Structure formats: C-alpha cells, structure tokens
Structure 1
Amino acid sequence: MPGLKPEAALRAILLAGLVFLLAASLPGHLSADSVTQLYEGRFGVRESFGPAVYAKILGLFDEVVPGTGLYVTASALILTWALISLIELRGRASWWAVGFAAIAAASPTLLLIQAAVWKDVLFANLSVAGFVCLAHAAKGWDEERRPWLLLAAAAFALAIAMSVRQNGLVLVVFAALALGWTAGSRGWRPGLAWGLGGLVSVIVLAQVMGVLAQPRGSGPDQALSTGLRILRHYDIVGAVAHDPTLKLEAIAKANPKAVPVIKAEAPKVYSPERVDFLDSSPALGAALWLTPETAISAQWFDLILRHPGAYLAHRWDAFVQVLINPVLERCNPIFVGVEAPVERLELLQIQPGREPSDLAMSNYATWWYVTPFYSHLAFAAAALIVAGFLVFRREAADMVIAGLMLGVLAFTASFFVVSIACDYRYLYALDLAALAGLLYLALDPPVFRSGRRP
C-alpha cells in the first residue's frame, strides 16, 4: 500500500492477531487446573496447592463478567501493548520486523496458547510487560523527572508474575540487575541501591499479595510446602530408579516398612516425563505420604549431598524432557476447549467439551510441530543471540531487554532442579520472551559496532 509505514503495519498486524485470537478462542481454554483455580477464586476457598494469587485474579475478573473471557482479554491485551510499545523504544520499525511479526502472530505461540487459562501464560505476559516497562524507564532515566509510573508498573507486573510462579524470582533478580545497571550510569553506589531496592520492593509486594489473596479462614498457605514435598518424593523415587542400591537410611529410621515398597515400586512407575506416574502405585503413595516430613526432607538432602550421581542422573533426564520434549505429543503441546470434572463445571455453570473452532485451532497447531515455534531449545538459542547483540550495542533499553533474555534463560535452567513434568507450557515464558526479543532486534537491526552507554 503506497505510503504505508512499517510502524503502522506492525501495529496493525499485532492488533489483528489479538482480534483473531479473541474471536476464535473466547472465553478461553480451561483444563482441570484452570477450572479448579476459577472455582477457588469465585467461591473464596482453597482446595489445591495452586497459587492463591492466580485464583484471586480469576475471581476478580469473574466478579465483573462471569467466566474467564474478560481475564483472557486482559491478559492478551497486556502482551499486545508490550509488543507494540517496543516500537517506541527504538523510535522506528523495519519491514523485517513487520514480516517477523506476521509469522509470530500466526503461530500457536501467540494465536493459541495465549487463550489458555494457565498461570504460565499470565506469568509470561507479565514478565515481558514488566521488563518492557523497565526498558521504557531506562530510556528516560536521565530526563528531569524520574519515570516513577513506569517503575511502579514494572514492580507490580513482576510481583504478580513471581506470585503465580515461585521460580519466577529468578526473573525478578535479573530485573533488579537491569535496574541497577541503569542507575549505575552515575556511579556504582546508586546502581547498587536501586538494584537492591527494586529487588526487595518486588519481593515484599509479592508477599503482601500472597497474604491478601488467601481466603478468610483458610489458614497459612500450604502451596509451597506441598509442592516441595511432591518434588522430594519424585527426586527420591527417581534416584532409586537410577540406582537401586541406595539405602534410604533417613526413611528407614522413621518408617522402615516404606523402604522395601519404594525399592520395589520405583523402577516400575518412575518416568522422567512426569511425576503423575507415581500415582499409579497406591502402595508407593502410602509409603511416601505416611513417612514424616522431617524424614523425607532429611532423605532428600542426604541424596543430594551423599549420592549426587543418582540425583543428577534423574534431574538431567527430567530436565531433558521439559526442555527438549523428545516426544512432543506426550507433553501436552496443545490444549483447547474445556475439560474438567462435570460436577465442578456445573457449579461454575460452564459447558464442557470442544467447539468446532477449537478442533480447527488444534489441527492448525499441529502443522507447526516441525517448526522452531515448537522448540524450546530454538527459542533458548534465539534468546542467547538476542542478548549478545544487545549487550554489544549497549543502549539503555537494550540492556533491560538483554536482562529479560538472560533472565528467562536462567528461569529455564531452574527447571533442572524443580521440573516434575514435561508439559510444554512450563517453558512458555522462554518462548514468548525470545519472540519479544527477536521483534525488538528486528525493529532496528544493530550495526556491528561497539556501543557507549548514554
């Protein structure tokens, strides 16, 4: 079209992608976890160990418009704003960026997964938006008025992100490092003060959110402790499956009958793909859960300190599953429609099943399986490359976006110690951040020259 500028074309593509996403998928795709958290949010109860903040967020949107349609819209709008506002960071856009945005907007990464009512999607959206706000603040850092509103928006977004995904703290640390670098243009002391201040502020804000999100009468939040216990069960069983000679001395002292059961059942039910396979053995579940928490904890630490070979072998296998997805179809790369216990759906007045549009979207997504858009490893490589180029150029906003790239890589690495399933959504933040980084780089491709800090 004559006279069409790439900036306008880019905005139009991203907005069109948003409209198509909402038209095709509202009120969103709900798995059993989604429905449970919506139920908790609507009725103010705690029945799972999912994040209370996420349930509260769903409940707040549900009060305005029943269901998840408004929530999905708001979440997708946050991401769309963040991507469009990248244009303002560079002050221009190239046609390379327009072409890349068209492909990205058509990919399941933006077109399908964004409509899933999962904490992983909200975490990814808020993480990208938080760093983008911080990048805008960095760009205007030396102006007469401090960009307090942008800093507050970044802190709020990252605090919610950390509240819905515990290992999201890794990204908060990198955001604090980026803030410290920005403030450090006037000396290391201001940089240290701003970095530590930002880190503490986000952590405190996240803790306050967690307390306020707890329903009345629910008592202390057990989500973290329950999740940690499940992780320890998985690690103990995985280590035994890799090394049947482990003695499990701490468990033997507290619950001697559990040891032979664990030894016998571990090789049968263990899978690096997911912890759920442990539930197929009621005897194993009873042996683990009837053992006192102190003994499980002591056995876990003993495993790491005295038997690192078995522990690391299990952890490596589990990490490969979540990062590489060797058998993609078994890691839930697609979820559409509504699938949850009927009685819970009836209470929420939500119809189960899949619409023809859902099935069409599911079929469409399978065509992308062989592309880099369904490869966490490809996105990790892209994030590393983007970070390298931006650190080389070293402009103020560049360093924040580079912080996002390095932060999401560190977040991915944290799954080496916490992964309990290979579900594709767990590393969705990596994919989305890498897409944002590639788009930012394509807006104004860096010249191969060393940069100076402004």
Structure 2
Amino acid sequence: MITFPRPVFRGQGFPGPSFTASQALGAVLLTGYVLMLALNLPGHLSYDSLAQLHEGRMQVRETWGPALYAWILGTFDSVSPGTGLYVAASGFLVTGSLLSFRQLRRHVSWASVVLAALMVLTPTLLIYQGVVWKDVLFANLALAGFACLAQAARVWDGPRRPWWVLIGALLAFAAAAQVRQNGLVAPVFGAMALAWIAYGRGWRSSLAWGLGGLAATLAVSMAMGALSQPPQAGPDQASARGVRIVAHYDIIGSVAAKPTLPLDVIRAHDPAAEQQIRYRATALYTPERVDYLGQDDQIGLALWGLPNEVVFEQWGTVLTQHPDAYISHRWEVFRWVFATPKIDSCLPVYVGVAGPETLTTALGIAPLMEPSDQALYNYSTWFLDTPLFSHVFFALIALVCAGVLLWRREAADIIIAAMLLSALAFTASFALISIACDYRYLYYLDLAAMAGLLYLALDLPYGRLRRRPR
C-alpha cells in the first residue's frame, strides 16, 4: 500500500513562501499608479497646460511659463501626441520614488501598507497626478531627487560611490529648478543633505560634496533652460515678467493696505498712472489673487506703460520706507495661499479639458468634461473640508516627521528630513512671491509630507526612541 506524506501547512512547520509587508506595499503603490492612469488618462488640461503644450509642439514662446516645461511636454507629444505619455512618466516619478523607500529600512511594517492604501485614494495622488501642471511635475521631480539622494546615503560608506543615483538626483533637481521659478529651494536643501552625509570623511569632504553638488546642479539647470529655448524665441523674458507682476501686485497691495502711502517715483514719471493705481487698482485689489486687476484694461495700460526702472524703484521704496504696508499686504496674500480660508476660491482641484478655442483647435484637442471627469470632481469634493485639503495640516505633518527623523539621524533619515524642510521652505517662499491662492502652488508640501509620513511608517521608531542610549 502506497502512503503519501501528510501535507504540512504554514503554521505547522512548513516555511513556504509568504506575502511580505514589503511586497504588499509594492503591490498597493503599483495598483494606485495603474488606477490613477485608468481614471485620468490622457490627462486634465487647463489653459496653462494647453498653452505650454502648444509652445512645446510648435517650438515657440507665447507665455511666461517655464521653457523647459514646454519642451518636456513637446518631447513627449512628439513620441505620442497629447499628454498621456507625459502623465504616465510624471506619475511614475512618484510611484518609483515611494517604491524605492523600501530599500532604505531594515523592516517594512504592515502599518505602512495600510497608510499607502489610504494615500493612493486621496485626490493628492489619485487626481492631481493626472493634471498637466508644472506644479505637479516640480513636486514629482523634487521627490525623485531626494529619493535618489537617499539611495546614495544608504551605500555612501560602501566601496564604490553611487554615481548613478547621484546623477539621477542631479538631473531631477536641475529640472525642478527650471520648472518652478522658486524651485531652487529643493536642490539647495539637497546639497545641504549631501554635505551632511559626506561629513563622515571630514569637513573638507563635506564642503566639497555640498558646494560641488549645488554648483553642478545649477550649471546643468542653466544648460537645460538655455537648450529648451526655441531657437527663434530669443532671450527668455519669463522671469523678468514674473518679477514685474509681483512688483505691480505689491505696490497696489501696499497702497490698499495704507491708502496714504505716497507713490512719488511713479507720480514724478506719470501722474495719471499714479492716479490709476491709487483709485482704480486698489478698488479691484484682493489678496486672493492678482487676476482681478485684469478686469480693467486701463489699469494694465497704466502699469505696463511704466519703464522697468520706475516700477522697481517704486517697489524698493515701498519695501524700505513703508514696510508696515508691505508686510500687511504680504501677510494677507500668504494667508490665502497657505491657509486657503475659502477653499472653493482657490481652485482646489481641476479635471477635464478647457481653454481658448484657438488653442484647442490648433492642438486638435476637444474641450470636454466627460462623465468620468465629473465623477472624479464629485469624489474630490468629499475631501474639500477635511485636513486632506489643508496645507496647514500637511505642514504640521512635515514638521513632526522632520523632527523625528533628525532626532534618529540615520543615513537616509537626513535626506528625507531635508526633503520635508525643503517643502516647508518652498512654502515659506510664497510669502514673498505669491500672486494667487491656487491650491496647486503648494502641492509639493502635501506630496512631501505624505512621502515623509510613509517613510517614517515603514519602520516605526517608537520602541527604539525610548531605548536610545544617551
């Protein structure tokens, strides 16, 4: 009689393959990425998206948006018309970065799997990653840059330098600095983190890696900016125009905050322009956004009719001689972009395709709002009055996570903490440059806070924090 051995099941001594938390985390993140693509492709496009896609496809300069972003859209469009391929590539920067976090810790907790499952269902990852905005790409590039640096920190003391991930960080940071006008904040903090991890071989090594990395990033970034300019476009005037718009807004906002504030420089050059600013512009001014000033053509003619030197001299006079009015105006503008007191006024989410007929016709893209787009919008409204649409909430998460990581101070911890601090510094920079409260402007803060929280949840530190030797 032939007998067969009794099968041994897991739990009875048979080791067998098991589905680990690390594998589950990877499955959740990849599923979230696929779901994002399924729900959003070929991408949601606003006027800004269409304008920069048109620039990239036609190789022209028509807006003051980043030339590199237009070039990126045009490059993906040349491979596969439209923005579907771009959305897939941009979104994978986030998914790939989060997947790479698993290599940074000795253990992966099941708590991180639960957290990741919740994260991929938030509008931050599920919807925003499908919107064709430079703000989203900047956040993705910055996250990818710090993820590469974290991998470098993990093997820094090994026999070989991790050149491939260092090059990846350099390219990501260089592109990020071009895609957002204040995007330089990310590579600066990346350079400081690199200097920190190189400190083990002395302060000279630390200084060389930190300053050398920043210099290399700036050089590559400037080269990217120059090469992305269409040959017939001439010198890029985007930054200069953006600064001037900020100057206009600050002058008008300061007068609105302090009606007796003198505008002697502008009055000496053009008394009529001074009257337009003092009475017409201040009547339309709001800290919510600069766009309302465009409702009166006379204001635009008066402002843009002034020479640069007059505007910037008056701006400087306001800042130095009337800081109370300037700070009052700037505080209100920052409150709107950071705290979004009326979230519905700050364009919290965008779906579908909409823009001028001239652009949609030239691109061959029909304006539309499909039922699936409307469903996504309706889904997002369930979160509007929750902390998931609060930059203040994510700033608190970033602060707490950065504090814990800086206390623990393991190699990759410093990099992730630097990412979180860069997001906070990026947010703070809007106190000086913000001209509207659009929610997307601080998307990097929300994304970085989520990524930092997930990294911390991978290997919960609470027990080790209590036992840490003094």
TM-score band by shorter chain is: over 0.9
Offset at residue 57 of structure 1 (A): 0.2
Offset at residue 91 of structure 1 (A): 3.4
Offset at residue 451 of structure 1 (A): 6.8
Larger deviation: 259-268 or 78-87? Answer: 259-268
Task: Specify the SS of the correspondent of 1:232.
Answer: helix
* Residue correspondence of structure 1 range 313-352 to structure 2 within 5 A: 313-352=328-367
Amino acid corresponding to residue 89 of structure 2 in structure 1: A
Unpaired segments ≥5 residues, structure 2: 1-9, 11-17
Percent identity between matched residues is 53
Aligned to 1:448: 465
Amino acid corresponding to residue 40 of structure 2 in structure 1: S
Offset at residue 373 of structure 1 (A): 1.2
Aligned to 1:380: 395
Aligned to 1:77: 92
Task: Specify the SS of the correspondent of 2:465.
Answer: coil
| Deviant stretches of 4+, over 4 Å | 449-452
- Aligned partner (choices 243, 250, 274) of residue 265 of structure 2: 250
Aligned to 2:38: 23
- Aligned partner (choices 207, 211, 229) of residue 214 of structure 1: 229
Aligned to 1:97: 112
Aligned to 2:3: none
Amino acid corresponding to residue 399 of structure 2 in structure 1: L
* Residue correspondence of structure 1 range 151-190 to structure 2 within 5 A: 151-190=166-205
Q: Distance in 1 between matches of 2:220 and 2:28?
A: 35
* 2:23 counterpart of 1:8: yes
* 2:438 counterpart of 1:423: yes
- Aligned partner (choices 297, 313, 325) of residue 310 of structure 1: 325
Offset at residue 246 of structure 1 (A): 1.1
Amino acid corresponding to residue 156 of structure 1 in structure 2: L
Aligned to 2:286: 271
Q: Distance in 1 between matches of 2:284 and 2:360?
A: 31
Q: Distance in 1 between matches of 2:93 and 2:425?
A: 23
Aligned to 2:7: none
Give TM-score scaled by structure 1 length: 0.98
Q: Distance in 2 between matches of 1:178 and 1:34?
A: 33
Q: Distance in 1 between matches of 2:166 and 2:302?
A: 49
CA deviation digits over 1:312-364, x for unaligned, max 9?
00000000000010000110001000001112111111111111100000000
* Residue correspondence of structure 1 range 25-104 to structure 2 within 5 A: 25-104=40-119
Task: Specify the SS of the correspondent of 1:257.
Answer: helix
CA deviation digits over 1:175-219, x for unaligned, max 9?
000000011111111101110011111111110000000001111
CA deviation digits over 1:365-421, x for unaligned, max 9?
010112221110000000010100000110010001000011110110000000000
Task: Specify the SS of the correspondent of 1:130.
Answer: helix
Amino acid corresponding to residue 281 of structure 1 in structure 2: D
Amino acid corresponding to residue 23 of structure 2 in structure 1: A
Aligned to 2:385: 370
Aligned to 2:429: 414
Task: Specify the SS of the correspondent of 1:171.
Answer: helix
CA deviation digits over 1:266-295, x for unaligned, max 9?
331001010001111222211111111100
Offset at residue 245 of structure 1 (A): 0.6
Unpaired segments ≥5 residues, structure 1: none
Give TM-score scaled by structure 2 length: 0.95
Q: Distance in 2 between matches of 1:357 and 1:192?
A: 52
Offset at residue 449 of structure 1 (A): 5.1
Output the aligned Cα RMSD: 1.1
Amino acid corresponding to residue 85 of structure 1 in structure 2: S
CA deviation digits over 1:226-269, x for unaligned, max 9?
00000100000000100111111111122222111111113310
* 2:417 counterpart of 1:402: yes
Aligned to 1:136: 151
Q: Distance in 2 between matches of 1:91 and 1:154?
A: 23
Contact 1:158 1:172 in 2 (8 A): yes
Q: Distance in 2 between matches of 1:330 and 1:36?
A: 23
Contact 1:395 1:451 in 2 (8 A): no
- Aligned partner (choices 427, 441, 447) of residue 432 of structure 1: 447
Q: Distance in 1 between matches of 2:303 and 2:168?
A: 44
Contact 1:334 1:362 in 2 (8 A): yes
* Residue correspondence of structure 1 range 346-361 to structure 2 within 5 A: 346-361=361-376
Amino acid corresponding to residue 387 of structure 1 in structure 2: A
Q: Distance in 2 between matches of 1:292 and 1:253?
A: 12
Task: Specify the SS of the correspondent of 1:334.
Answer: coil
Amino acid corresponding to residue 125 of structure 1 in structure 2: N
- Aligned partner (choices 233, 249, 261) of residue 276 of structure 2: 261
Offset at residue 82 of structure 1 (A): 0.2
Offset at residue 32 of structure 1 (A): 0.3
Larger deviation: 427-436 or 274-283? Answer: 274-283
* 2:246 counterpart of 1:226: no
Q: Distance in 2 between matches of 1:166 and 1:191?
A: 28
Q: Distance in 1 between matches of 2:253 and 2:417?
A: 36
Amino acid corresponding to residue 280 of structure 1 in structure 2: Q
Task: Specify the SS of the correspondent of 2:120.
Answer: helix
Amino acid corresponding to residue 205 of structure 1 in structure 2: V
